[in-house]
Amino acid sequence: MFSFRKEILAVALMAVAGWASAQGTGKYPGVGRDATPKEVAAWDIDVRPDFKGLPAGSGTVAKGQDVWETKCAHCHGVFGESNEVFSPLIGGTSADDVKTGRVAKLMDPTGGRTTLMKVATLSTVWDYINRAMPWTAPKSLTTEEVYAVTAFLLNLGGVVPENFTLSDKNIAEVQARMPNRNGMQTKHAMWPGNEFGGVKKADTANVACMKNCATEPTVASFLPDFARNAHGNLLEQNRIVGPQRGADTTKPESKAVGASGASVPAVVVPAAPAAKSAPEASGADNKAAIALTAKNSCTACHGMSNKIVGPSFADIAKKHAGKADYLAGKIKAGGTGVWGPVPMPAQTLSDAEAKTIAVWLAAGAGK
């Protein structure tokens, strides 16, 4: 009897508990749960322009230079100036810009734009290095390293001196020296809401004239003849049936009416698929090695047959045929000078993986 009452009570309590938890998730009981503080801390890494979210810490320009040369320079150049892989980061700003907060060079219609010329908010630089760099190992930098690399870049750009230590304590002062800090505006109608004030009216106002409209239908710009085949043979980029074909851009265009060089063959054979960056291997060994080059992000810098940052696999295979041990060592240790000044960082893959890739390269880097 006693135990029976106990059971009743237990069921009642369970029911209450179930109800309470259902209530806890409101309209859709059973969907979602509270995130733990640990989970939020693991993912909530963003830093806002007012530096909300910035972790405490510091880093020196000197330390930043060390990190830069081992982890960043091979893509961005020793001075952040390189245009080889990504747009240049540093350059184009002056001491005067640091005073005015407007980069004068942005008025130059012929000039390129570096990151430092554009960015108004220092938080953006810190946040992106922290969340996305280095390219093949994002989020691997320590907080100190992120401060240090940021400080190094700012030093390259003449924003802070070379003995500077950037920290959460002084970052707001450095923000006040950003060369283009006054260069942004939101006076446009391209934000769908009133959050920025902005303007309601679009900045163009065409009118749908239908007859005898004022216009000058003369051709002012077109592709030069030498660019005819620059995007590949357009014949192979159009369907083989229908009201039109692609122009055969491997042949010059005929100016004569009715005798275009872009003739349509009686039988059109579908073109091969677009070139893939990592073609499928036929041999199992080749396949495994190629898969490893993708897994270890080798392909970020090395193409199968094209130079990207580093030499192509085909060129390496040619130069170092049969030298599997040498190549395995080079993969692990990195190096510079063999193929030019851009250094290859030491790679963290296993000996077995390095060997597999090295053997494949030494055997000709077959597909």
> According to CB under 8 A, which residues from 36 to 55 bind other proteins?
39-40, 43-46, 48-50, 52
Least gap, CB of 328 to other proteins (angstroms): 25
Regarding 348 and contact with other proteins (CB under 8 A), the answer is no
Burial of 216 (0-12, 13-18, 19+ CB in 10 A): exposed
Give the number of residues in contact with other proteins, rule: CB under 8 A.
121
Mapping DSSP to helix (H, G, I), strand (E, B) and coil, where does residue 113 land? coil
CB nearer other proteins, residue 251 or residue 320: 251
Least gap, CB of 299 to other proteins (angstroms): 8
Within 303-342, the residues that bind other proteins by CB under 8 A are 308-309
CB contact at 8 A, 179 and 98: yes
Least gap, CB of 302 to other proteins (angstroms): 11
Among 243, 280, 284, 337, which residue sits at the site for other proteins (rule: CB under 8 A)? 243
What residues contact 223, with CB distance under 8 A and at least 6 apart? 230
Stretch that binds other proteins, among 147-155, 246-254, 333-341, 351-359 (CB under 8 A): 246-254
Least gap, CB of 42 to other proteins (angstroms): 9
DSSP conformation class of 312: -
The owner of tokens 């495994």 is 288
**Max Cα-Cα span within the chain:** 107
Least gap, CB of 72 to other proteins (angstroms): 15
Regarding 172 and contact with other proteins (CB under 8 A), the answer is no
Binding mask 9-28 for other proteins (x = CB under 8 A): ----------------xxxx
Sign of CA dihedral 340, 341, 342, 345: positive
User: φ, ψ for residue 125 (rounded to 5)?
Assistant: -65, -50
Least gap, CB of 280 to other proteins (angstroms): 16
Among 1, 20, 95, 256, which residue sits at the site for other proteins (rule: CB under 8 A)? 256
CA 41 to chain centroid: 25
CB contact at 8 A, 277 and 299: yes
Least gap, CB of 158 to other proteins (angstroms): 18
CB contact at 8 A, 293 and 302: yes
Regarding 91 and contact with other proteins (CB under 8 A), the answer is no
Within 201-220, the residues that bind other proteins by CB under 8 A are 202-213, 215-220
Q: Using CA atoms, how far apart are residues 160 and 88, in angstroms rounded to an integer?
A: 19
Regarding 2 and contact with other proteins (CB under 8 A), the answer is no
Binding mask 106-145 for other proteins (x = CB under 8 A): xx-x---x-x--xxxx-xx--xx--xx--x--xx------
Least gap, CB of 118 to other proteins (angstroms): 5
User: φ, ψ for residue 66 (rounded to 5)?
Assistant: -60, -50
Q: Using CA atoms, how far apart are residues 205 and 200, in angstroms rounded to an integer?
A: 13
| CB atoms near residue 61 (< 10 Å) | 23
Least gap, CB of 48 to other proteins (angstroms): 6
Q: Using CA atoms, how far apart are residues 96 and 180, in angstroms rounded to an integer?
A: 11
CB contact at 8 A, 151 and 160: yes
Counted residue by residue, the chain has a size of: 367
Within 271-310, the residues that bind other proteins by CB under 8 A are 271-274, 277, 299-300, 308-309
Within 184-203, the residues that bind other proteins by CB under 8 A are 184-196, 202-203
Among 21, 142, 170, 237, which residue sits at the site for other proteins (rule: CB under 8 A)? 237
CB nearer other proteins, residue 198 or residue 364: 198
